[in-house]
Amino acid sequence: MSFRIRSGLVLMASVALAIAIPVGRTADAQILNRIKKAAERAAERETERQVDRKVTETIRCAADDAACIDRAKRDGKQVETAPSGSPSTAASAGAASGAVPAAFVNFDFVPGDRVLFAEDFSRDQVGDFPRRVEFVRGNAEVAEWQGARWLRGTTWPSVFDVVLSEALPERYTIEMEVVPGGDNRQLALRFAENAAQHVGVRYFQNRLNGGIYRGSNAIAAGSTEDVVKTATPFMLRVMVDGRYVKVYAGGTRVANVPNAEVGRSRKIRVELPGSPETPGYVRSIRIAAGGRTLYDAISADGRVATQGIYFDTNSDVVRPESAPTLTLIARMLEEHPELKLTIEGHTDDVGDDAANLRLSERRAAAVKAALERQHRIAGDRLQARGIGESKPAASNDTPEGRQQNRRVELVKR
Protein backbone atom coordinates (compact mmCIF):
# COMPACT_ATOMS: atom_id res chain seq x y z
CA MET A 1 0.00 0.00 0.00
CA SER A 2 1.46 3.38 -0.97
CA PHE A 3 2.21 6.19 1.46
CA ARG A 4 -0.48 8.38 -0.11
CA ILE A 5 -3.19 5.71 0.35
CA ARG A 6 -2.12 4.94 3.92
CA SER A 7 -2.01 8.63 4.85
CA GLY A 8 -5.43 9.06 3.27
CA LEU A 9 -6.86 6.21 5.31
CA VAL A 10 -5.49 7.76 8.49
CA LEU A 11 -7.01 11.12 7.66
CA MET A 12 -10.35 9.54 6.62
CA ALA A 13 -10.47 7.67 9.90
CA SER A 14 -9.84 10.86 11.84
CA VAL A 15 -12.59 12.67 9.90
CA ALA A 16 -15.03 9.83 10.55
CA LEU A 17 -14.28 9.98 14.27
CA ALA A 18 -14.65 13.73 14.24
CA ILE A 19 -18.12 13.47 12.65
CA ALA A 20 -19.17 10.96 15.26
CA ILE A 21 -18.30 13.31 18.11
CA PRO A 22 -20.74 16.15 18.84
CA VAL A 23 -19.06 19.55 18.86
CA GLY A 24 -19.81 22.66 20.83
CA ARG A 25 -18.18 21.90 24.14
CA THR A 26 -14.58 22.60 25.16
CA ALA A 27 -13.89 18.94 25.88
CA ASP A 28 -15.18 17.98 22.43
CA ALA A 29 -12.94 20.55 20.77
CA GLN A 30 -9.96 19.20 22.64
CA ILE A 31 -10.78 15.66 21.53
CA LEU A 32 -11.08 16.81 17.90
CA ASN A 33 -7.76 18.60 18.18
CA ARG A 34 -6.06 15.49 19.58
CA ILE A 35 -7.51 13.38 16.75
CA LYS A 36 -6.24 15.85 14.16
CA LYS A 37 -2.74 15.92 15.68
CA ALA A 38 -2.67 12.12 15.88
CA ALA A 39 -3.56 11.88 12.19
CA GLU A 40 -0.90 14.41 11.24
CA ARG A 41 1.71 12.62 13.33
CA ALA A 42 0.81 9.25 11.75
CA ALA A 43 1.27 10.75 8.29
CA GLU A 44 4.65 12.19 9.30
CA ARG A 45 5.75 8.83 10.71
CA GLU A 46 4.89 7.17 7.39
CA THR A 47 6.94 9.79 5.54
CA GLU A 48 9.89 9.05 7.83
CA ARG A 49 9.56 5.33 7.11
CA GLN A 50 9.50 5.99 3.37
CA VAL A 51 12.56 8.26 3.63
CA ASP A 52 14.35 5.65 5.73
CA ARG A 53 13.59 2.94 3.16
CA LYS A 54 14.77 4.98 0.20
CA VAL A 55 18.01 6.11 1.84
CA THR A 56 18.74 2.62 3.11
CA GLU A 57 18.21 0.91 -0.26
CA THR A 58 20.31 3.20 -2.46
CA ILE A 59 24.11 3.45 -2.55
CA ARG A 60 25.94 5.87 -4.85
CA CYS A 61 29.11 4.50 -6.48
CA ALA A 62 31.49 5.84 -9.10
CA ALA A 63 30.99 4.03 -12.42
CA ASP A 64 34.51 2.56 -12.23
CA ASP A 65 34.36 1.63 -8.52
CA ALA A 66 33.71 -2.10 -8.89
CA ALA A 67 34.29 -2.80 -5.19
CA CYS A 68 31.61 -0.30 -4.16
CA ILE A 69 29.14 -1.68 -6.70
CA ASP A 70 29.75 -5.31 -5.75
CA ARG A 71 29.45 -4.56 -2.02
CA ALA A 72 26.16 -2.70 -2.51
CA LYS A 73 24.71 -5.54 -4.61
CA ARG A 74 25.77 -8.15 -2.02
CA ASP A 75 23.95 -6.11 0.63
CA GLY A 76 20.80 -5.98 -1.50
CA LYS A 77 21.04 -2.22 -2.12
CA GLN A 78 20.17 -0.29 -5.26
CA VAL A 79 23.21 1.19 -6.99
CA GLU A 80 23.25 4.73 -8.37
CA THR A 81 26.36 5.28 -10.49
CA ALA A 82 28.19 8.56 -10.95
CA PRO A 83 30.81 9.43 -13.60
CA SER A 84 34.19 7.76 -13.24
CA GLY A 85 36.35 9.51 -10.70
CA SER A 86 33.36 10.76 -8.66
CA PRO A 87 33.39 9.81 -4.98
CA SER A 88 31.12 7.04 -3.79
CA THR A 89 28.60 7.72 -1.04
CA ALA A 90 30.97 6.20 1.50
CA ALA A 91 33.95 8.21 0.32
CA SER A 92 31.96 11.44 0.14
CA ALA A 93 30.77 10.94 3.69
CA GLY A 94 34.35 10.78 4.87
CA ALA A 95 35.11 14.11 3.24
CA ALA A 96 32.47 15.92 5.26
CA SER A 97 34.21 17.84 8.05
CA GLY A 98 36.50 14.92 8.86
CA ALA A 99 33.53 12.63 9.50
CA VAL A 100 34.00 8.87 9.57
CA PRO A 101 33.36 7.28 6.15
CA ALA A 102 30.02 5.48 6.20
CA ALA A 103 27.37 4.28 3.76
CA PHE A 104 24.73 6.42 5.48
CA VAL A 105 22.77 3.35 6.51
CA ASN A 106 19.30 4.21 7.88
CA PHE A 107 20.30 7.88 7.73
CA ASP A 108 17.00 9.80 7.92
CA PHE A 109 18.27 12.81 9.91
CA VAL A 110 16.62 16.13 8.99
CA PRO A 111 17.81 19.10 11.09
CA GLY A 112 15.48 21.56 12.77
CA ASP A 113 14.76 24.79 10.93
CA ARG A 114 15.15 27.33 13.78
CA VAL A 115 18.64 27.59 15.24
CA LEU A 116 18.68 27.79 19.05
CA PHE A 117 22.43 27.56 19.54
CA ALA A 118 25.48 27.43 17.27
CA GLU A 119 29.14 27.56 18.27
CA ASP A 120 32.43 26.60 16.61
CA PHE A 121 34.79 28.28 19.17
CA SER A 122 36.40 30.34 16.40
CA ARG A 123 36.03 33.55 18.43
CA ASP A 124 37.59 32.13 21.61
CA GLN A 125 41.25 32.43 22.51
CA VAL A 126 43.37 29.28 22.44
CA GLY A 127 43.99 28.21 26.03
CA ASP A 128 40.77 29.75 27.38
CA PHE A 129 37.55 28.05 28.38
CA PRO A 130 34.86 29.04 25.82
CA ARG A 131 32.70 32.01 26.75
CA ARG A 132 29.41 30.70 25.36
CA VAL A 133 29.23 27.41 27.29
CA GLU A 134 29.07 27.00 31.06
CA PHE A 135 31.88 25.25 32.94
CA VAL A 136 30.81 22.52 35.38
CA ARG A 137 33.94 20.52 36.27
CA GLY A 138 37.07 18.92 34.87
CA ASN A 139 39.81 20.42 32.73
CA ALA A 140 39.02 21.77 29.26
CA GLU A 141 40.28 24.55 27.01
CA VAL A 142 40.11 25.78 23.42
CA ALA A 143 42.86 24.23 21.29
CA GLU A 144 44.00 24.27 17.66
CA TRP A 145 43.78 20.78 16.17
CA GLN A 146 43.51 19.57 12.57
CA GLY A 147 43.29 23.13 11.27
CA ALA A 148 40.30 24.13 13.43
CA ARG A 149 39.47 25.20 16.97
CA TRP A 150 38.06 22.60 19.32
CA LEU A 151 37.11 22.40 22.97
CA ARG A 152 39.65 19.86 24.28
CA GLY A 153 39.08 17.88 27.48
CA THR A 154 41.91 16.16 29.32
CA THR A 155 40.10 14.70 32.34
CA TRP A 156 37.49 11.99 32.88
CA PRO A 157 35.16 13.64 32.29
CA SER A 158 35.29 17.33 31.43
CA VAL A 159 31.75 18.59 31.88
CA PHE A 160 30.08 21.71 30.46
CA ASP A 161 26.54 22.93 29.84
CA VAL A 162 25.12 24.42 26.66
CA VAL A 163 22.65 26.99 28.01
CA LEU A 164 19.69 27.85 25.78
CA SER A 165 17.44 30.90 25.72
CA GLU A 166 14.39 28.64 26.01
CA ALA A 167 13.56 25.11 27.10
CA LEU A 168 14.06 22.39 24.53
CA PRO A 169 10.88 22.21 22.43
CA GLU A 170 8.83 19.15 21.49
CA ARG A 171 10.89 18.63 18.34
CA TYR A 172 14.59 19.46 18.12
CA THR A 173 17.90 18.27 16.70
CA ILE A 174 21.50 18.30 17.92
CA GLU A 175 24.63 18.13 15.79
CA MET A 176 28.25 18.23 16.95
CA GLU A 177 31.59 16.96 15.73
CA VAL A 178 33.23 14.89 18.45
CA VAL A 179 36.24 12.77 19.41
CA PRO A 180 35.68 10.82 22.66
CA GLY A 181 39.01 10.41 24.47
CA GLY A 182 40.16 8.80 27.70
CA ASP A 183 40.78 5.25 26.48
CA ASN A 184 37.51 4.84 24.55
CA ARG A 185 35.20 6.06 27.29
CA GLN A 186 31.68 7.22 26.52
CA LEU A 187 30.79 10.80 25.61
CA ALA A 188 27.38 11.55 27.16
CA LEU A 189 24.63 14.10 26.46
CA ARG A 190 22.04 14.74 29.16
CA PHE A 191 18.95 16.83 28.49
CA ALA A 192 17.54 17.21 32.00
CA GLU A 193 19.12 16.94 35.44
CA ASN A 194 17.05 14.02 36.72
CA ALA A 195 16.24 12.31 33.42
CA ALA A 196 16.29 8.53 33.52
CA GLN A 197 18.19 8.13 30.25
CA HIS A 198 20.93 9.83 28.26
CA VAL A 199 22.61 9.68 24.85
CA GLY A 200 26.08 8.17 24.70
CA VAL A 201 28.69 7.44 22.01
CA ARG A 202 32.24 6.02 21.95
CA TYR A 203 34.76 4.06 19.92
CA PHE A 204 34.33 0.33 20.46
CA GLN A 205 36.18 -2.57 18.79
CA ASN A 206 37.19 -0.48 15.75
CA ARG A 207 33.64 0.79 15.29
CA LEU A 208 31.56 3.71 16.48
CA ASN A 209 29.08 2.61 19.11
CA GLY A 210 26.25 4.75 20.43
CA GLY A 211 22.67 4.89 21.58
CA ILE A 212 20.45 5.62 24.56
CA TYR A 213 21.50 4.46 28.02
CA ARG A 214 20.15 4.19 31.56
CA GLY A 215 23.27 4.55 33.68
CA SER A 216 25.77 2.15 32.13
CA ASN A 217 23.06 -0.10 30.65
CA ALA A 218 22.08 0.26 27.00
CA ILE A 219 18.38 0.82 26.29
CA ALA A 220 19.06 0.79 22.56
CA ALA A 221 22.53 0.92 21.00
CA GLY A 222 24.27 -0.04 17.79
CA SER A 223 27.55 0.19 15.92
CA THR A 224 28.67 1.44 12.53
CA GLU A 225 29.82 -1.00 9.87
CA ASP A 226 32.97 0.88 8.88
CA VAL A 227 36.29 0.25 10.61
CA VAL A 228 37.54 3.48 12.22
CA LYS A 229 40.62 4.68 14.00
CA THR A 230 40.52 6.01 17.54
CA ALA A 231 40.73 9.82 17.61
CA THR A 232 38.99 10.13 14.21
CA PRO A 233 36.46 13.02 14.32
CA PHE A 234 32.87 12.10 13.51
CA MET A 235 29.45 13.74 13.61
CA LEU A 236 27.13 12.91 16.50
CA ARG A 237 23.52 13.73 15.69
CA VAL A 238 20.33 13.40 17.73
CA MET A 239 16.76 13.89 16.47
CA VAL A 240 13.96 14.19 19.04
CA ASP A 241 10.20 14.30 18.47
CA GLY A 242 8.33 14.07 21.78
CA ARG A 243 9.64 10.86 23.35
CA TYR A 244 10.83 9.54 20.00
CA VAL A 245 14.64 9.77 19.88
CA LYS A 246 17.04 8.75 17.13
CA VAL A 247 20.83 8.77 17.51
CA TYR A 248 23.35 8.83 14.65
CA ALA A 249 27.11 8.21 14.74
CA GLY A 250 28.90 9.30 11.58
CA GLY A 251 26.51 8.33 8.79
CA THR A 252 24.71 5.50 10.61
CA ARG A 253 21.62 5.53 12.77
CA VAL A 254 22.59 3.56 15.86
CA ALA A 255 19.44 3.97 18.01
CA ASN A 256 15.74 4.38 17.24
CA VAL A 257 13.61 4.57 20.40
CA PRO A 258 9.91 5.59 20.37
CA ASN A 259 9.53 5.90 24.16
CA ALA A 260 12.78 7.37 25.45
CA GLU A 261 12.95 9.16 28.81
CA VAL A 262 15.68 11.74 28.17
CA GLY A 263 13.72 14.73 29.53
CA ARG A 264 13.89 18.43 28.63
CA SER A 265 15.33 21.58 30.14
CA ARG A 266 17.13 24.79 29.15
CA LYS A 267 20.52 23.08 29.41
CA ILE A 268 22.24 20.28 27.55
CA ARG A 269 25.01 18.76 29.62
CA VAL A 270 28.02 17.43 27.72
CA GLU A 271 30.31 14.95 29.49
CA LEU A 272 33.46 14.81 27.37
CA PRO A 273 35.88 11.98 28.26
CA GLY A 274 39.60 12.58 27.93
CA SER A 275 43.04 12.29 29.47
CA PRO A 276 46.37 14.07 28.95
CA GLU A 277 47.48 11.20 26.70
CA THR A 278 44.19 10.82 24.80
CA PRO A 279 42.21 14.10 24.90
CA GLY A 280 38.56 14.35 23.95
CA TYR A 281 37.41 16.99 21.46
CA VAL A 282 34.14 18.66 20.48
CA ARG A 283 33.30 21.44 18.00
CA SER A 284 30.62 22.73 15.61
CA ILE A 285 27.73 22.45 18.08
CA ARG A 286 24.35 23.18 16.51
CA ILE A 287 20.97 22.85 18.24
CA ALA A 288 17.79 23.63 16.30
CA ALA A 289 14.06 23.52 16.93
CA GLY A 290 11.86 21.49 14.60
CA GLY A 291 9.11 23.14 12.60
CA ARG A 292 6.16 22.56 10.34
CA THR A 293 6.23 20.09 7.48
CA LEU A 294 7.58 21.51 4.22
CA TYR A 295 4.21 21.59 2.50
CA ASP A 296 2.38 23.15 5.44
CA ALA A 297 4.94 25.93 5.60
CA ILE A 298 5.04 26.61 1.87
CA SER A 299 1.23 26.58 1.67
CA ALA A 300 0.91 29.11 4.50
CA ASP A 301 3.83 31.41 3.70
CA GLY A 302 4.69 30.75 0.07
CA ARG A 303 8.21 29.74 1.05
CA VAL A 304 10.08 27.52 3.47
CA ALA A 305 13.70 27.48 4.60
CA THR A 306 15.55 24.23 5.11
CA GLN A 307 18.76 23.70 7.06
CA GLY A 308 19.05 20.11 5.84
CA ILE A 309 21.02 20.71 2.63
CA TYR A 310 24.70 20.45 3.53
CA PHE A 311 27.75 21.81 1.71
CA ASP A 312 31.39 22.03 2.68
CA THR A 313 32.76 25.56 3.21
CA ASN A 314 32.98 27.46 -0.10
CA SER A 315 31.74 24.37 -1.99
CA ASP A 316 28.66 23.70 -4.11
CA VAL A 317 28.89 19.90 -3.80
CA VAL A 318 25.79 18.55 -2.04
CA ARG A 319 26.97 16.31 0.79
CA PRO A 320 25.48 12.79 1.26
CA GLU A 321 23.76 13.63 4.55
CA SER A 322 21.48 15.95 2.56
CA ALA A 323 19.68 12.87 1.16
CA PRO A 324 16.78 12.77 3.68
CA THR A 325 15.87 16.42 3.08
CA LEU A 326 16.14 16.03 -0.71
CA THR A 327 13.85 13.00 -0.47
CA LEU A 328 11.26 14.96 1.53
CA ILE A 329 11.34 17.77 -1.06
CA ALA A 330 10.94 15.27 -3.89
CA ARG A 331 8.08 13.50 -2.11
CA MET A 332 6.29 16.83 -1.63
CA LEU A 333 6.63 17.55 -5.35
CA GLU A 334 5.40 14.07 -6.25
CA GLU A 335 2.33 14.39 -4.03
CA HIS A 336 1.51 17.89 -5.30
CA PRO A 337 2.08 17.80 -9.08
CA GLU A 338 0.78 21.34 -9.48
CA LEU A 339 3.58 22.71 -7.29
CA LYS A 340 6.51 24.53 -8.93
CA LEU A 341 9.46 25.86 -6.96
CA THR A 342 12.24 28.37 -7.12
CA ILE A 343 15.26 27.09 -5.19
CA GLU A 344 17.07 29.99 -3.54
CA GLY A 345 20.60 29.82 -2.19
CA HIS A 346 21.41 32.14 0.75
CA THR A 347 24.67 32.84 2.60
CA ASP A 348 25.78 34.78 5.67
CA ASP A 349 27.79 38.00 5.30
CA VAL A 350 31.23 36.48 5.90
CA GLY A 351 33.45 37.12 2.87
CA ASP A 352 33.09 39.11 -0.34
CA ASP A 353 29.57 40.04 -1.48
CA ALA A 354 30.14 39.03 -5.10
CA ALA A 355 31.77 35.74 -4.12
CA ASN A 356 28.87 34.92 -1.81
CA LEU A 357 26.40 35.63 -4.61
CA ARG A 358 28.23 33.32 -7.02
CA LEU A 359 28.46 30.59 -4.38
CA SER A 360 24.74 30.83 -3.64
CA GLU A 361 23.95 30.55 -7.35
CA ARG A 362 26.04 27.41 -7.71
CA ARG A 363 24.52 25.84 -4.62
CA ALA A 364 20.95 26.50 -5.77
CA ALA A 365 21.80 24.98 -9.15
CA ALA A 366 23.33 21.94 -7.43
CA VAL A 367 20.14 21.31 -5.44
CA LYS A 368 18.04 21.63 -8.61
CA ALA A 369 20.31 19.18 -10.40
CA ALA A 370 20.14 16.68 -7.52
CA LEU A 371 16.33 16.71 -7.54
CA GLU A 372 16.26 16.22 -11.30
CA ARG A 373 18.95 13.55 -11.48
CA GLN A 374 18.38 11.56 -8.30
CA HIS A 375 14.61 11.93 -7.93
CA ARG A 376 13.47 12.40 -11.55
CA ILE A 377 11.74 15.73 -10.88
CA ALA A 378 10.94 17.49 -14.16
CA GLY A 379 13.30 20.40 -14.75
CA ASP A 380 10.52 22.77 -15.80
CA ARG A 381 9.06 22.58 -12.28
CA LEU A 382 12.25 23.97 -10.75
CA GLN A 383 14.22 27.20 -11.02
CA ALA A 384 17.51 28.01 -9.31
CA ARG A 385 18.39 31.46 -8.02
CA GLY A 386 21.27 32.77 -5.96
CA ILE A 387 20.51 35.46 -3.38
CA GLY A 388 23.87 35.61 -1.60
CA GLU A 389 23.84 37.61 1.63
CA SER A 390 21.26 40.19 0.53
CA LYS A 391 18.23 38.71 2.37
CA PRO A 392 19.30 37.59 5.85
CA ALA A 393 16.76 35.70 7.93
CA ALA A 394 18.46 36.80 11.16
CA SER A 395 21.21 39.09 12.37
CA ASN A 396 24.72 38.18 11.24
CA ASP A 397 26.06 39.42 14.59
CA THR A 398 25.65 36.04 16.31
CA PRO A 399 26.70 32.49 15.40
CA GLU A 400 23.04 31.42 15.55
CA GLY A 401 22.07 34.20 13.13
CA ARG A 402 24.83 33.34 10.67
CA GLN A 403 23.85 29.68 10.83
CA GLN A 404 20.23 30.62 10.17
CA ASN A 405 21.29 32.70 7.16
CA ARG A 406 23.23 29.86 5.52
CA ARG A 407 20.21 28.14 4.07
CA VAL A 408 18.31 26.91 1.04
CA GLU A 409 14.79 28.28 0.61
CA LEU A 410 12.00 26.76 -1.46
CA VAL A 411 9.69 29.42 -2.93
CA LYS A 412 6.32 28.62 -4.45
CA ARG A 413 5.86 30.12 -7.93
CA 317, CA 306: separation in Å to the nearest integer? Answer: 17
Q: For 58-67, 224-233, 275-284, which range has the lowest pLDDT when averaged over its residues? A: 58-67
User: What per-residue string of b and e applies to 55-87 under the rule 16 or more CB within 10 Å gives b?
Assistant: bbebbbbbeebeebbebbeeeebebebbeeebb
> Mean pLDDT for the chain?
81
- Look at residue 74 in the predicted model and tell me its pLDDT: 54
| Mean predicted confidence (pLDDT) in 27-35 | 61
| Percent residues over pLDDT 70 in the chain | 74
Residue 80 has pLDDT above 60, yes or no: no
User: What per-residue string of b and e applies to 15-42 under the rule 16 or more CB within 10 Å gives b?
Assistant: eeebeeeeeeeeeeeeeeeebeeebbeb
Whole-number Cα distances in Å, 215 to 7, 115, 200, 220:
39, 30, 10, 12
- Look at residue 265 in the predicted model and tell me its pLDDT: 96
Residue 332 has pLDDT above 70, yes or no: yes
- Look at residue 5 in the predicted model and tell me its pLDDT: 42
Task: Look up the pTM and report it.
Answer: 0.72
Residue 201 has pLDDT above 70, yes or no: yes
> Which tens digit of pLDDT belongs to each residue from 84-116?
333 344 334 333 333 333 446 678 898 998 999
| Mean predicted confidence (pLDDT) in 359-385 | 94
| Mean predicted confidence (pLDDT) in 179-185 | 88
- Look at residue 79 in the predicted model and tell me its pLDDT: 57
| Mean predicted confidence (pLDDT) in 44-56 | 48
- Look at residue 343 in the predicted model and tell me its pLDDT: 96
| Mean predicted confidence (pLDDT) in 171-181 | 95
Residues with Cβ within 8 Å of residue 144, at least 6 apart in sequence: 126, 150
- Look at residue 113 in the predicted model and tell me its pLDDT: 87
Neighbours of 333 (CB within 10 A): 22
More confident residue, 56 or 367: 367
Beta carbons of 399 and 120 less than 8 angstroms apart: yes
